[in-house]
A = this chain, B = another copy of it.
């Protein structure tokens, strides 16, 4: 038996040129063979979208020196699928996504391309982690995120991960000396209060920008929003099975 180095697939949703993915790469490369397949342009908010109505391109990239890397015209989930089925010649031991520029706490998991890439990895039976830093700045400071990523990559490669589950890791916007540690918790039941910014174009025809405020309505003390606010990084286990088992009995009594 050949003792192979762990194979780690990295992707993200901010695109292959973002600071976040380069920070994650810097941490991951110490743990094994790293391959990068990431979008060629920002894919924030793409959720679990896949590209089925037009073909995808996959271009070799040299921006990670000495490392096999590709930019892809598709979504983060497309990148995971292409990574597994076209780029790699064996199943990766770990998929890591991010580090996202901006929080993916609470219900934002559903909209997040970063997290959807990790969910896709879990569906493939591969230990997968999505990392997000609660700072949208293009030049954000990823120092704490790199400390957290190092711990979790090491742990996941050593002990694997529960089946059918990936991890949603959020890191507060905080200095290293103020960082408190890691908490396992649930995703807050908090939502966007959406608005549309309606403007008129040069012909007087309206167009709409999605905007709004994120409302922390969940008063629970065991949520990601709660612990992020206290200076902790958070781990929320995320499952791909969305069946609401707890209401099945109620629906069976509908007699339809």
Contact = CB atoms under 8 A, between A and B. Distances in A.
Interface stretch (A27-35, A93-101, A235-243): A235-243
B57 A207 contact: yes
A251 interface: yes
Interface string A23-66: 00000000000000000001011111111110111100000000
Given A48-B110, A53-B42, A110-B242, A194 B85 contact: yes
Contacts of A244: 162, 164-165, 237-239
Given A109-B242, A110-B240, A196 B82 contact: yes
Interface string A88-109: 0000000000000000000101
A145 to B, nearest CB: 15
Q: How large is the interface on A (under 10, 10 to 19, 20 to 34, 35 or more residues)?
A: 35 or more
Contact of A208 (B58, B162, B236): B58
A56 B207 contact: yes
B256 A151 contact: yes
A187 B242 CA distance: 8
A191 interface: yes
Contacts of A78: 210
B240 A236 contact: no
A102 to B, nearest CB: 11
B196 A86 contact: yes
